Structures are given as structure tokens and as C-alpha cells.
Amino acid sequence: MKNEMLAAVLYGKEHVEIEKVAVPQLGDGDVLVRVRAALTCGTDVKVFHRGYHARMIVPPALFGHELAGDVVEVGKSVRGFRPGQRVVAANSAPCGECFYCKRHNENLCENLLFNNGAYAEFIRIPSRIVEKNLYEIPEHVAYQDAALVEPLACVIRGIDETGVKAGDTVVVIGVGPIGLMFVRLLALRNCRVIAVGRRRPQLDRAAQLGAHLTLSTNDEKDIVAAVRRETAGYGADVVIEAVGLPETWQQAIQMLRRGGVANFFGGCPADTQVCLDTQLMHYSEITCTASFHHTPAHVRKALEAVVAGYITAYDFVTGEEPLSNLNEVLTHQLHQNGAVKTAIIP
């Protein structure tokens, strides 16, 4: 086992260096994984642009969190994992003991442990994640498919929070990787999905994944009116906002029918606020919810969906690049070129 590895280190705003660092040392309950595929995501692009993430990563730090790979070493107290196993690890694990964990809100855990470092040859999986959120990958599942489990778990939790039913009309605002996952899973639940976005290639992909209708904000002068037009004037049963802008949060409310549900899935920039029409909220009985992160139960559901073939890398990963090209990949995606996800192969 070598002592050094290549890894991406985040130093600040749009400053990532690919450099040699020490291979992580293991504690008794830890597992060392050789990364076979690490996927880019919208969160990583935002972190790259801002230079930090208040909850997840403070520079200088190893970077990246969607991965699958092979176990190469285990701590002496680890049970159930051994070298040679193909595994996928979530990027966090709750403590199981705090106020929120005891109320089954593990995603809001006061001591939520995050793990970064997927853009590297090896990654250490801390003991708590080994115990709660590390899973073996069946032989028929490819590494890139398995690496989709973490974001997919967030999407599954978002759908669960809305109470979506078969036959519902659901608007998904935003057709990036997360929005496209929503489209796919909602279509599988026999919902009538209306995908709203800007770029035609991504809207076309949404249609391929099961969207019944696609609406481009570049073509529609009033996107709220367009949604109402396509719902006989009533509005949607559910709207999922997967962009993270105050203006699209506002649009989500306005697109709903009376008694509808809005899920503010996309996190807005810090210190932003949204004003709500109290008349509309009260007399139309609008329900607003928001979804943050995932729980171990949702990670397991996501892995089941991948194992069953409902979600595959073919629909979401648009290319492969070596670790040495990570800066170029993130810069390219920062300028919103329409790429969905790129697999980084260390």
C-alpha cells in the first residue's frame, strides 16, 4: 500500500489543486476505499464557486462526495466489510442520539457527520458512516450507477415529503441532475410531470425520462400562466422547486392549485427572503414544505432503486474525465453549459 495519493484539495473560491497528499490513516472502525468513480454535482459546483460550504466543507479540505469504489483496508474493529468488496458510501451519518434523531429527523441531526474527499485515489470512510451508511454494491451494478445513490436519496426524501400520489400533476422547476431525478421517479409513480427549465437539451432529456410536457422559460413570457394553461386553469397538485432562487420559490406557489403542495427543495443563497401572499396561502390552503439532505433509510431506498435499474448513469452521466481535469470540468459546469454529471475517474 503506497503512502501518497493524488487528491483534489479545495483552497478557496474557484481554487482547487490536484496534489499529492498522504493516504488517510484508519481508526479502528474506519474503512479505506479506492475510488473507482466520483460524480460531479450541483453542490460541488456551488462549493467550487463560493470556496466553501457552511455545513459540509471548510477549506483547505479534500473535496467531492458522490462515490463508489473498492474496500482496500478495514480497521481492526470493523465487521461486515473486507478488502475487495465493491461499496458505495453516503456522505454523512447522523448520531442517532440527539433531539432530532430521536424524533426521526436524522437529516437535521445536531451532530451530523459529513465526509468529503471523493475526488481522490482513496477516501477514508469514518466509523459512523461505516456503521450507518456504507453498503455493498451487487456485482451487476456499475460503479457510476452506484455513485448516484447519495443525490437520489435526497430526491426520494423530497418526494416522500410532498405526499405525491399516482395521477397527480407535478411541476418540476429546474432540470439539472436533481430535477431530472425527480422527473424520472415521479414518472415511475405514474404522475403527470411538467418539467420547467431553460435549456432545450435538458428539457429534451426530461422528456426522455418521462416528463409528459416540457416548458422553456426562454420560450414562455409568463411561465406561471403557461403552467395554468396546461392544467385547465387550476394549477398543479404539487410543485417541486429544484433551482434554489427566491423568484422560483415564488413561482412555485403561484403554479399550485387550491390545496396544493410546494416543496422548496432548492436551497437559496444565504440571507435571501421570500414574501408570501397571505390571502393566497390562507384561502387556497397552500402547503409549503422543504427538504434538506437524506437519512440512512432514504439512502437504502435509493440503493434499491439503482439495483432495480430504475436509475442508471446512462441517463445522468454525460462524460468521463481523469482527476487531473477536475478544474476544467467544474469551470465548464459553472458556466451552465448543459452538462448533467461528469464521472471523475481517479
Number of Cβ within 10 Å of residue 233's Cβ equals 9
Q: Which one of 290, 320, 337 terminates a domain? A: 290
- Residue 196 forms part of a structural domain: yes
117 occurs within a structural domain: yes
Residue 60 sits in a domain whose CATH number is 3.90.180.10
Three-class secondary structure assignment of 74-124: ECCCCCCCCCCCEEEECCEECCCCCCCHHHCCHHHCCCCEECCCCCECEEE
Query: In this predicted structure, what is the pLDDT of residue 337?
Result: 60
Q: Evaluate whether residue 302 is within a structural domain.
A: no
38 plus 174 within the same structural domain: no
Q: CA-CA distances (angstroms) from residue 195 to 38, 75, 148, 188, 287?
A: 27, 46, 21, 15, 21
The reply to whether 174 and 84 lie within a common domain is no
Q: How many CA atoms lie within 13 A of 334 on its CB side?
A: 16
Q: How far apart are CA 299 and CA 3, in angstroms?
A: 32
Residues 2-49 pLDDT 10s: 799 999 999 999 899 999 999 999 999 999 999 999 999 988 888 888
Question: Looking at the 3D structure of the chain, how many domains does it have?
Answer: 2
Distance CA(198)–CA(72), nearest Å, equals 43
List Cβ neighbours of 325 (8 Å cut-off, separation of 6 or more).
Answer: none
Mark whether 276 and 318 lie in a shared domain: no
CA distances in angstroms from 284 to 162, 226, 246, 259, 261, listed in the order given: 17, 20, 21, 6, 11
The CATH number linked to 229 is 3.40.50.720
**Helix spans in the chain (H):** 42-50, 127-133, 143-146, 149-162, 177-188, 200-208, 223-229, 246-254, 278-283, 296-307, 326-334
Is residue 258 included in any domain, yes or no? yes
In a domain, 298, yes or no: no
pLDDT digits (tens, 9 = 90+) for 317-345: 999 999 999 999 999 888 866 668 999 99
- The pLDDT averaged over each successive group of 10 residues in the chain (346 residues) is 91 93 97 98 85 81 96 97 98 98 97 97 98 98 98 98 97 96 98 96 96 97 98 98 96 98 93 93 97 97 98 94 95 76 95
Helices and strands: H and E segment counts in the chain: 11, 18
Identify the pLDDT of residue 338. 60
User: In terms of residue numbers, what domain contains 330?
Assistant: 4-148+312-345
